[in-house]
Structure 1
Amino acid sequence: MRISVQRPGDLTAADRAAWAAVQSQAATMGSPQLDNPFLAPEFTLAVGRHHRGVRVAVLREEGEPVAFFPFQRTAAGVGRAVGLGLSDCQGLVHRPGFQWDARELLRACGLAVWEFDHLVDGQKPFEEGVSGSFPSPVMDVEHGYEAYLGQIRSHSPKFVRTTLAKERKLGRDLGAVRYVHDERDPAALRTLMEWKSAQYRRTGRSDRFARPWIVELVEHLFHSRSPSFAGLLSVLYADGHPVAAHFGMRTPSVLACWFPAYDPAYAKYSPGLILHLRMAEAAAAEGVAYLDLGRGEKEYKESLKTRDLVVSEGWVTRPHPIALGHRARRAPVRALRNAVTARPRLREPADRLLKRVGRLRAGAR
């Protein structure tokens, strides 16, 4: 096996096509999790436009590419998954049955350590570095929207009934409800980012859209369109006015849910839930297998999901002082965060504290 490491922009057209082909075959070859948009070449190329350290290792057998490993690297040899903190799916994209040696791969990439927080299931050579695994809920629509509704009705009939009733009330109170699955108006994208920024601030979270590079990344992905990948903006309108929106990415079989938000003025109608049901209906009509809601315990995800995937966090290392130092710094932070999020009696007070901080921030402006 030969491993070459390149900047994303230096990949040949043939290599990019081979990467896309491996993904497109994943669902039929027993590894549907590899067809996630976060593992697509377009996502790595887009992040590479904004981060200098983004690289792709191309693994070849008999001259043919069989696997692709995207990563970010510092000058000291600390590696991270591409878009760590933003990406909801990470790992090595490979042909069925392909096996690799994790330490050999790190050595070829010039890495002492590679950190991940959403490692896709089925990456056995990386599993010895896993420090924790977590559910990542999905909405299965492969068998059609009515079959999906039937599944969630079976465990939450009140949720479906109430959400559909709120959609009807939204139409009666405000005017005709209209859903656009693939909205191409950049103004609608700007509205979504404004809503999401306000939500981050209101809940005391770090505002991702206060970082210019993330805004530019989303705008770039919004304009990315090919048969195998596209940025997808979906908007719910009432009487011609946007009330909820979502931006994510899709491959032929997976819609990765990423940035959902709604106008708080219409919160009583649960427009975000209505939007997700409309997204599921449209995705099913397009032949998508599932919507990936991403790791994280949220009430709306529990209501919408049909099952959970598993993603993991941790570090793959090889013997090196840099690896020891990096893990020593990062492990306590991860352990504290996971201890809080995994326990409702700790998570709920933490959420209240963050919201209080958000209110104080708003009052200070």
Structure 2
Amino acid sequence: MSMSASEAPGETGLAEPARVHAVRTVPLDALTARELETWHRLREANPALDSPYFHPGFAQAVQASGRQVSVAVGRDRAGEIRALLPHHRDRSLIRPAGWPAADFQGPVLAPGTHFPPLGLLADGVRGFAFDHLVEDCTDFEPWIESRRPSPFLDVSGGLDGYLGRASRSGKDNMGQARRRAAKAERTHGTVRFVADSTDHEVLERVIELKRAQYAATGAKDYFSAPDRHELMSGLLRTRGTSFAGVLSTLHAGEKLLAAHFGIRSGSVLHWWFPVYDPEFSNLAPGWMLLRELTIAAPALGITRIDLGRGDDEYKRRAKTGETLVCQGIVTRSSARQTLRRARDSVVETAKSSALGPGLRKIVRGLRNLNR
């Protein structure tokens, strides 16, 4: 089999790393079958990209929901595709496809491939903003401003396997969830768990509960944009183990205690939109749901549940490990980077201040500034 120049062995006899030489942006729906096949092949060759966010099915679902997705296609000097990065354009700024709910981001490429981030800044694009970039993207290092943990549960072996790896707090909460499930059954009726539901009415209830949660906490309502609702519906209709939406529900009698809507690819499930009915908050139904999902993991073919970036207490207690995701912006403007760092410094100061509760509105406003 012939090799391109970037693959040919050097004097040491070792293959040189692949290197992207040129980047060209095309509409997602203009990709050929061969280019999509290359996307799958590159992703499968890189264990760091096993999250469903890197599957072309996610970008395609976002596009089908009504949001235009473009793809930066990187090729080596021989013209071979070495990287693909799906994204949205907002005037002079581009962001990863699915933003602001894409919990893992970065170019799809084989391990060791060199990607030129500044190659994204063409045709009037002045910045590529990211907030969940996988840490393996070392070429982006000059533009990384911060790193934050993204916890996960190793659920290989189901509940027994998880308990063997969990922290003391994780074990205690799973034990309490078992006892609370028994209490819920005595009080409200038979407890029923459905690991992979296709009930669109339940999905509507999940969105309703999530929007109520946003309103109660003052968080920006993700579902205020109509395309986000359509994205969830489209993902629920997507079936299969390669890529699919997954709706899990927990009932006691006729009451929906908790539910979760996420996405999966292969053996990885991303914990995306968990909700519970506040009426049953004393039962900690979120833990009950997570316990049932952990029990069901082997039958579903799931070995890892990614919880996504965040410092929620339940994530700290439940996790068996974590990865790091990066925040920053690729730009040629040093002034823009300075402004962002100043903003982030104010946000972190407000969060740690004793006046924190009174500063939440200010913090949210700063976070919503054009990144």
Decide which structure has greater helix share: 1
Match of 2:111 among 96, 111, 118: 96
| Structure 1 position 45 matched with structure 2 position 60 | yes
* Counterpart secondary structure, 2:156: coil
Q: How far off is 1:345 after superposition? A: 4.4
* Counterpart secondary structure, 1:122: coil
Match of 2:348 among 322, 330, 338: 338
Using a 3 Å threshold, how does the CA distance of structure 1 residues 347 and 225 change in structure 2: closer, same or farther?
farther
Asked whether the equivalents of residues 65 and 234 of structure 2 are also in contact (C-alpha less than 8 Å), the reply is no
Q: Deviation digits for residues 230-268 of structure 1, max 9, x if unmatched?
A: 111111111143211111111113211111101111111
Match of 1:72 among 88, 103, 110: 88
Q: 1 CA distance for matches of 2:240 and 2:38?
A: 15
Q: How far off is 1:74 after superposition? A: 3.3
Asked whether the equivalents of residues 53 and 72 of structure 1 are also in contact (C-alpha less than 8 Å), the reply is yes
Q: 1 CA distance for matches of 2:359 and 2:74?
A: 44
Asked whether the equivalents of residues 234 and 245 of structure 1 are also in contact (C-alpha less than 8 Å), the reply is yes
Q: 2 CA distance for matches of 1:176 and 1:350?
A: 44
Equivalenced residues, count: 342
Query: Equivalent residue for 2:40?
Result: 20
Q: How far off is 1:351 after superposition? A: 6.3
How high is the TM-score relative to the length of structure 1? Answer: 0.85
Q: How far off is 1:147 after superposition? A: 1.4
Asked whether the equivalents of residues 53 and 74 of structure 1 are also in contact (C-alpha less than 8 Å), the reply is no
Task: Select between 231-240 and 189-198 the one with higher mean Cα deviation.
Answer: 231-240
Query: Equivalent residue for 2:197?
Result: 183
Using a 3 Å threshold, how does the CA distance of structure 1 residues 345 and 200 change in structure 2: closer, same or farther?
same
Q: 2 CA distance for matches of 1:352 and 1:20?
A: 42
- Stretches of structure 2 that go unaligned for 5 or more consecutive residues are 1-20, 364-371
Matches within 5 A, 1:119-268: 119-152=133-166, 154-268=168-282
Using a 3 Å threshold, how does the CA distance of structure 1 residues 85 and 74 change in structure 2: closer, same or farther?
closer
* Counterpart secondary structure, 2:196: coil
Task: Select between 105-114 and 128-137 the one with higher mean Cα deviation.
Answer: 105-114
How high is the TM-score relative to the length of structure 2? Answer: 0.84
Using a 3 Å threshold, how does the CA distance of structure 1 residues 285 and 347 change in structure 2: closer, same or farther?
farther
Percentage of identical aligned residues? 35
What's the C-alpha RMSD, in Å, of the aligned pairs?
Answer: 2.5
Q: 2 CA distance for matches of 1:92 and 1:168?
A: 46
Q: 1 CA distance for matches of 2:359 and 2:252?
A: 35
* Counterpart secondary structure, 2:197: coil
Asked whether the equivalents of residues 57 and 68 of structure 1 are also in contact (C-alpha less than 8 Å), the reply is yes
Match of 1:274 among 272, 278, 288: 288
Asked whether the equivalents of residues 222 and 232 of structure 1 are also in contact (C-alpha less than 8 Å), the reply is yes
Query: Equivalent residue for 1:357?
Result: none
Q: 2 CA distance for matches of 1:69 and 1:44?
A: 10
Query: Equivalent residue for 1:84?
Result: 99
Instruction: Letter of the 2:287 partner, please give it.
Output: L
Match of 1:55 among 62, 70, 79: 70
Match of 1:9 among 29, 36, 45: 29
Q: Deviation digits for residues 16-36 of structure 1, max 9, x if unmatched?
A: 232223333433xxx3xx111
Matches within 5 A, 1:318-333: 318=332, 323-324=333-334, 326-327=336-337, 330-333=340-343
